[in-house]
Structure 1
Amino acid sequence: MTQAPFHVPVITIDGPTASGKGTVAQRVAEHLGWHVLDSGALYRLTALACLNIQTSLNDEEAVALVASQLDVSFKADKVFLSQADVSQDIRAEHVGNTASKIAAYPQLRLALLQRQRDFQVEPGLVADGRDMGTIVFPDANLKIFLVADVQSRAERRAKQLKAKGISANLTSLLEDMQARDLRDSSRASAPLVAADDAYVIDSSNLTIEETVGKVLLHWSEKIN
C-alpha cells in the first residue's frame, strides 16, 4: 500500500520519552475528531513480542521479522497483541528500554514504516513519536517538536507509574531517561531530532491543557 494522499491532513508530534507527546497527541486528535497514531507503541509491541518468544535482541534481522509479523490491533484506548490486551504490559520500563535499544535497527524501522503510514486516513491523523516529522510523514501539514527538561520528565514518569501502583525510583528513572535520550539522539538511523520546519514547544512548565492549546493555535494559524 502506498502512502495516503497529501490531502489527508497530518499533525506530527515528536519528542523525547515522557515529554507528554502521547497525551497531547490524544487530546489534539480528540479535539479535531481525527485518528491518532502512537508510533512508540509499535516499537514497544515489537520489544514485548521479542521478549515473549525470547528472540535474540542482538539479531537485527530476527527482530525485524517479528515486527513484520505482529498481530496488532488498537481499540479505543486498548492495545492488543495476538488478541491479548497488552495495554499495560507495553508501558513497563523494561519494555520501553528494550524498545529504545532495538529502535536503532534500520531493518526494524523499515519494517514498521509503511504500517505507520497506513494510519493516514480521513479525516486526519495526529502522529506522535520520534521521527514522525522527519521520516514517516515528512510532508505533514504541521510538525511539533515537544521538549521538556529531563528532571521534569523523570518526575512525570514517576508520578505516572505510582498512579498505576508501580514502584518507581526517581534516580533510576532519571538515569534511564538520560541513557535513552542519548541512544535516541545519536543513533545512525532516524535519530531523534526536530524537523527543520517544526515548531518547538517546551512543556517543562506547562500543563497538558496549555500544551494542547499551543498545538491547536499553531494548527489554527496554518489553516487560516
Structure 2
Amino acid sequence: MKHFSIAIDGPAGAGKSTIAKKIAKELNFIYVDTGAMYRAMALYFIRNNIDASDKEKIKNNINLVDISIEYIDGEQQIFLNGENVSRLIRTEEVGKMASAVSVYPDVRLKLVELQRSLASKANVVMDGRDIGTYVLPNADLKIYLTASTKERARRRFLELQEKGIMADIDVIEKDIIDRDYRDMNRDFAPLKQAEDAIVVDSSDMTIDEVKDTIIQYFKKIINN
C-alpha cells in the first residue's frame, strides 16, 4: 500500500507546526511533530544539568533517552522516558536548548530513525528544518514555509502577550535571527530549501490560506 508524505521545512516562527497540524487533520494524515521530539531531548538535558556546549556528555547520555509519540483522544502526546511531557516542552528555555543541541549528529540520528519509521507505516505530515532535504528526501510534496523576521517576531510577541508574558519584540526578532543563523549554518543537515520544494511565504497570508494553498499543491501531485 502506498503511503503519502508531506514535508514542511522552514525557519522558526514561520507557522510550520500550526499549518502541518491543520493539513494532517483535513487529509486524515498523521502529524509527526519533529520539533517536539527535539524539545523532549532538550528537556532531558536541562533536567540533568547538561550544558548545550558539552558535546561529550550529550553523546554519552543520548542512549539514556527514550522518546515516543502516542495519540490520545486524537491529540499527539510526547513521552520522555515514559512521562508525558507535552506541556513541559513548550517553554522558551527548552526551545533554545533544542536549537542548540540539534546541531549534534548523534542527537539528530537518534530521532531521524523513528521519524522515517513512522513515514514508512502511515500517511504523514512532518515539519521541521531538514525534513525534505534529509529526513524524508523522497517525500511526495516538499514545502519551504517562510515569513519575514518581523512578522515571525510579531506572531511570537502576540502569543506571549496572550499568555500574560511580558516581552520585547526587538529582542524576540534578534533571537529569531540568531536561531536562523544557527540552523542554516550547522554542519549536519542545516536548514535549507530542498531543490524540489515549493516556497510558500506566509507573511501576508492567513493560516487557512496557507493550509489551502499547500493542500491544493498536494492534490495536484496525487491527481497527476
TM-score by length of 1: 0.91
Q: Deviation of residue 86 (structure 1)?
A: 2.5
CA gap 1:110/1:153 in 2 versus in 1, 3 angstroms: same
Which residue in 1 is equivalent to 2:203? Answer: 204
Q: Deviation of residue 87 (structure 1)?
A: 2.4
Contact 1:60 1:108 (C-alpha < 8 Å) held by counterparts: no
Which residue in 2 is equivalent to 1:30? Answer: 25
Following superposition, which runs of at least 4 residues in structure 1 exceed 4 angstroms of deviation?
A: none
RMSD: 1.7
Which residue in 2 is equivalent to 1:131? Answer: 130
Q: Which runs of 5+ in 2 are unaligned?
A: none
SS in 2 for 1:79: strand
**CA offsets, 1:81-113, max 9 Å, x none?**
234342232121121111111111122111221
Within 5 Å, which residues of 2 pair with 1:160-199? 160-199=159-198
Separation (CA, whole Å) in 2 of partners of 1:84 and 1:156: 30
Contact 2:41 2:67 (C-alpha < 8 Å) held by counterparts: no
| Paired AA for residue 58 in structure 1 | S
Q: Deviation of residue 62 (structure 1)?
A: 3.1
**CA offsets, 1:142-179, max 9 Å, x none?**
00000000010011111122223333221211111110
**CA offsets, 1:29-86, max 9 Å, x none?**
0011010111111111111110001123223243245444433343314333234342
SS in 1 for 2:153: helix
Within 5 Å, which residues of 2 pair with 1:140-155? 140-155=139-154
Report which stretch shifted further, 186-195 or 69-78.
69-78
SS in 2 for 1:118: helix
CA gap 1:168/1:78 in 2 versus in 1, 3 angstroms: farther
Contact 1:60 1:107 (C-alpha < 8 Å) held by counterparts: no
SS in 1 for 2:143: strand
Q: Which runs of 5+ in 1 are unaligned?
A: none
| Paired AA for residue 32 in structure 2 | L
* Percent pairwise identity: 39
| Paired AA for residue 117 in structure 1 | R
CA gap 1:103/1:173 in 2 versus in 1, 3 angstroms: same
Separation (CA, whole Å) in 1 of partners of 2:26 and 2:220: 16
Within 5 Å, which residues of 2 pair with 1:1-224? 7-74=2-69, 75=71, 76-224=75-223
